[in-house]
Structure 1
Amino acid sequence: MQKDLEDKFLVDFETNQNIAHKICRIYTSNRDAHNDLFQEITIQVWKNYPKFRGDSKFSTWMYRVALNTAISLYRKSTRQLKTQDFDDVAYKIKTVEYDDTEEVQLKALYKAVHQLNDIDKALIFLYLEDKPYTEISETLGISNVNARVKMTRAKEKLKNILNP
């Protein structure tokens, strides 16, 4: 039973690991912090995987776990990630390397997004992922109307940062 769960987790996580990398990119500013956050997200997704009931798509559920992990870790005043050992399953995940080479516009966008608050970062991230408002509201645990209002405000903040 455990082996089947591990195998299913590996397939689901490897297929959707870009979600974790993108969230790490938004919430961190260097490779070490990115790798630490990616590891913590992997741990949290693995620890909570048995609770995934399939009521939503795995990717939607993973967005929620990953965003909650990033937000809660970076709200702490110490800004330090707590790491812990976990089963060998983590070492079986084939990860995609973090790519430092980005176009100038993409770097400017990430720099601007870093200036937003945690919720606005999550909203912009999901928007850039072309997620529909129903999925955004489900992922963030807010109403559809609230997601739209917050998104409009977040876009306006981002626009003001990019074009002062």
Structure 2
Amino acid sequence: MEKEFIQIINEHQGIIFSVCRMYCTEKADIEDLFQEIVLQLWRSFPRFNRTAKVSTWMYRIALNTAITGIRRRSSRPVFSAISLDQENHAEPPPGRMDIEYNRELWKAIYSLSKFDRSLLLLYLEERPYSEMAEILGLTESNIGVKLNRIKKKLKTILNP
């Protein structure tokens, strides 16, 4: 069982890192959340239904752990001021040409509710609506409605 778990983590650790980066900005916080998520995955592994998709199971556990972790640390700010010139900062993904735009985009993303960030992450990971619905416990049509609202909210924040 342990070997199977380690193999799954090694093959799908990108899911965990994506969730961590969506909820944390500092390298140390990302590492802490990563460890918390792996621990929760290990604890739930004996109950994992092998007929379900591994990615769906991992996203559900990872997102729940991230949201719960934020609630537990509510006395601390959810994110510190975003500063790309800090060495410990988790930088936004490559592919954008303007650092200032990246900074503003990440500020906008971190201003979303925890649930909206979860949905946005799954959307950016190009997960099908059916999988997003299963992970988040919504209908596929509700996923579409919520995504449109998130996109409008981000546009409003970025283009006031």
Structural RMSD (CA) = 2.0
Unpaired runs of at least 5, structure 1: 81-97
> How many residue pairs align between the two structures?
143
State the secondary structure of the residue aligned to 1:78: coil
What corresponds to 1:92 in structure 2?
Answer: none
Normalising by structure 2, report the TM-score: 0.81
> For 1:66-85, what aligned pairs fall within 5 Å after superposition?
66-76=62-72, 77-79=74-76
How far apart in 2 are the matches of 1:30 and 1:99? Answer: 6
Asked whether the equivalents of residues 25 and 90 of structure 2 are also in contact (C-alpha less than 8 Å), the reply is: no
Matches within 5 A, 1:5-154: 5-76=1-72, 77-79=74-76, 100=91, 102-103=93-94, 104=99, 105-154=101-150
Letter in 1 for 2:17: H
Query: Normalized against structure 1, the TM-score is what?
Result: 0.79
TM-aligned CA distance change 1:22 to 1:107, over 3 Å? farther
User: Between the two proteins, what is the percent identity of the paired residues?
Assistant: 43
Write the distance in 1 (CA, Å) between the matches of 2:102 and 2:50.
Answer: 34
CA contact (8 A) 1:73 1:79 kept: no
**Distance in 2, Cα, partners of 1:120 & 1:130:** 15
| Matched residue, 1:155 | 151
Return the letter of the residue paired with 1:133.
Answer: Y
Offset of residue 120 of structure 1: 0.6
Change (3 A) 1:108 1:15: farther
Matches of 1:15 and 1:28, distance apart in 2: 22
What residue ranges of structure 2 are gaps of 5+ in the alignment? 78-88
Deviation at 1:57, TM superposition (A): 0.9
